[in-house]
Amino acid sequence: MMPDTSIRDTARVTRTRERVRRPLTRAAVIDAAARVIARCGHRGAKWSLIARELGDPEALVAASWFPGPEALIEECYARTAEGLHDCLLQAETAPGTGLDRIAAFLVAALETRRERGVFLSFRRTGDLSEPLQRRVREHDMMVRARLRRLLAKGRDDGTLAARSLEGVCDLILSVLQSGSPTAGDRPQQSMWDSELVELLLTALADPHPPEKHDTAVGRTHDVDVAHGSCLCGTVRFEILGPFEEMNHCHCSMCRRHHGSVFASFVAVPKERFRWIDGEEWVTTYQSSQGQRSFCRWCGSATAVHDEDLVFCPASGLDTGSGARRGSQVFVGSRQSWHTVTDDLPPPDA
């Protein structure tokens, strides 16, 4: 009887021959390089190891496809980011609750990881050049921004436990960007991934989701907390209610800050406002009417701090605040081509 080692060797040779018969593609080379990087680090991304990973000695010709090792490494990180973005897009368009969408993202991401063998971590790049480290950090920030936005939907609809979104991002991405750097949709790996999805969803789900209110029969509730975010999702904040009025400001500073014909704000005392995520990416500008802030990545206007009050842009709130429409303010400064047509009281017209 043939020894077990011979059986394994024969199987390996068979798989290698099957891979050799397949046309060599750029994506396959990048995936193989990513698996080598995950095992050996950036300095270990040598073409001899990549060719061995592909099981094709002729893969050495692919070295001419890339200007140099750093260009190959950059494409490996870009492909990881592309894969995660594609999975996030699937989740964002999936039906169901926020937690259902997180489940769709995890399933798609783990399936992609099985096909490619590995997702590279964006957090372990200290031995790369500074320009490449910067690009990797940008990949990390954009993936996290979209993932936080997806998580926020689950928290807002009550299917995700209220906890630090950044901490949850760390948990999910550390799980996805780790694991054995091997390729192939093996049944055993599929089973492990299914169990992993179940464990993660159990850890993320709110064990006591809030009761739903039937507005059709007139049962409503006051909004106690409203969450807001910038366009890219990097900066997030919350304000505590109950909220009374929402005012529309026509002053030239608010119009320029928001790039609109007027700016709508919900005002709260400063102790009822807090940054949730991304405060370090907030840039401020001191104007004569408070300290105005915006996200340095996407430019979205965020809160205006003015002594004891914080004015939060109503259009930046992810959920309704329940605030009543208040008044038009500084109507005398409105654009000449804009006509106020509603019935709100203009105190300074």
Helix (H) or strand (E) holding 168: helix 165-176
Q: How many CB atoms lie within 10 A of CB 104?
A: 20
Residues 65-116 have pLDDT tens digits of: 888 888 999 999 999 999 999 999 999 988 888 888 999 999 999 889 988 9
Residues 43-65 have pLDDT tens digits of: 888 888 888 888 877 778 888 88
pLDDT band of residue 317 (cuts 50, 70, 90) is confident
> Regarding predicted confidence, which is higher, 184 or 149?
149
pLDDT band of residue 222 (cuts 50, 70, 90) is very low
Instruction: For residue 143, give the 3-state DSSP assignment.
Output: helix
> Regarding predicted confidence, which is higher, 278 or 248?
278
Mean pLDDT along residues 284-309: 82
**pLDDT (0 to 100) of residue 34:** 92
Residue pair 153/204 in contact (Cβ under 8 Å)? The answer is no
Please state, in angstroms and rounded to a whole number, the distance separating the CA atoms of residues 174 and 169.
8
**Domain spans of the chain, in order of start:** 23-204, 222-333
pLDDT exceeds cutoff 60 at 19: no
Q: CB-based contacts of 25: which residues, under 8 Å, 6+ apart?
A: none
pLDDT exceeds cutoff 80 at 129: yes
pLDDT exceeds cutoff 50 at 348: no
**pLDDT (0 to 100) of residue 119:** 93
Start-end of H helices in 22-97: 26-40, 47-54, 69-92
Which segment of 197-206, 208-217, 333-342 scores lowest on mean pLDDT? Answer: 208-217
- The pTM of the full predicted model, rounded to 2 decimals, is 0.55
Put the strands of the sheet holding 245-249 in their side by side order: 282-287, 290-295, 301-306, 309-313, 263-269, 245-249, 324-329
Structure tokens at 174: 């550390």
Q: What is the DSSP string of 236-286?
A: EEEEES---EEEEE--HHHHHHHTSS-EEEEEEEGGGEEEEE-GGGEEEEE
Q: CB-based contacts of 57: which residues, under 8 Å, 6+ apart?
A: 51
**pLDDT (0 to 100) of residue 262:** 75
CA angle 197, 203, 205 (to 5 degrees): 95
Q: CB-based contacts of 320: which residues, under 8 Å, 6+ apart?
A: 223, 226
Mean pLDDT along residues 240-253: 73
Superfamily of domain 23-204: Tetracycline Repressor, domain 2 (1.10.357.10)
Give whichever of 65-74, 175-184, 202-211 has the largest mean pLDDT: 65-74
Per CATH, the number for 222-333 is 2.170.150.70
pLDDT exceeds cutoff 70 at 20: no
Residue pair 266/318 in contact (Cβ under 8 Å)? The answer is no
Q: What is the DSSP string of 222-238?
A: ---EEEEE-SSSS-EEE
Strand partners, 85: none
Amino acid type, 244: E
Mean pLDDT along residues 287-304: 82
| Beta strand pairing call for 290-295 and 236-240 | unpaired
| Beta strand pairing call for 245-249 and 263-269 | antiparallel
**pLDDT (0 to 100) of residue 344:** 54
**pLDDT (0 to 100) of residue 88:** 93
**pLDDT (0 to 100) of residue 218:** 33
- Rounded to the nearest integer, the mean pLDDT of the chain is 77
